[in-house]
Amino acid sequence: MNAPPVKPPQRKLLRNAMILLAVSVCLGMSVFQIYRASVKTERYEQMLAAQTAAPISLNTLTSQTAADFLDLDLHQVSLKGRWLADKTIFLDNKLRNRWVGYHVLTPFQLEASKSVILVNRGWVLAPRLRSELPNVVTTDTTLELGGVLRHFEQRVFELKAEPPSGRVWQHVREDDYTRESGLNAELKVLPLMLLQTSATDDGLAREWTSPVHPALHHIGYALMWFIFSIMAGVYGWMLWKHQ
């Protein structure tokens, strides 16, 4: 049995409701992008400030609780110790100037301590064959580093959550790393990562702040959605005027 035809007044009401919905959705998306721009701006400014602030010694903070360490996010620190090179992992699909590579992550044991912090040492170009891994120079002597503390990845979009395996990882979350690295059996893994900013003779690229302000593309999206809302509103006004 066929549905009854929509009467003209009902058709106009439905059309006006759809136009109003389109305008509201477009405006809402514009506001959301402005919010994202403000969040990115705040983090970008915090990162710039952290890289120029006076560092604190991480070696003197190992007695702090996990909650205290989490409050040190985006702090500039210095540390002394040695690499645990055999525990190095590679974060996959990291782009630099349109070249595909890896971020090299190596745990660093603090001198005279059982505390270990995972260090993102920088970017390296991927070999031509995916079956090969980059050859990264890692000294086995005691050295001093400088860097900025950051949280582990927390919100990750995945179609299917799978625990990492091997030396090439797609994401690095604290629980996964603590479990898969096996370091907690004898050592204490600190609950923050370090973005290395000091220079070492390893050939890795360390560019933790983009030369392009990260909020710019969100502002562009906000403008785009605002224009869409105007177009929908003008279209609705023209239909109302000629009805």
Q: By mean pLDDT, which of 68-77, 127-136, 204-213 is the weakest?
A: 204-213
Of 61-65, 149-153, 191-195, the range with the lowest mean pLDDT is 61-65
pLDDT at res. 1: 52
Evaluate if residue 7 carries a pLDDT over 60.
Answer: no
Share of the chain above pLDDT 90, in %: 47
How far, in Å, CA of 103 to CA of 162, rounded? 20
Tokens 């002394």 map to which residue?
Answer: 80
- Residue-wise pLDDT for 77-136, tens only, equals 999 999 999 999 999 999 998 899 999 999 999 999 999 999 999 999 999 888 899 999
Three-state secondary-structure class, residue 164: coil
Note whether 207 and 96 are within 8 A (CB): yes
Using pLDDT thresholds of 50, 70 and 90, give the confidence band for residue 14: confident
Give the integer Cα–Cα distance in Å for 79 and 197. 12
Longest dimension (CA), the chain: 83
pLDDT exceeds 60 at position 66:
yes
Are 85 and 106 spatial neighbours (Cβ–Cβ below 8 Å)?
yes
CA–CA distances in Å: residue 184 to residues 37, 108, 177, 190, 191: 38, 13, 10, 10, 12
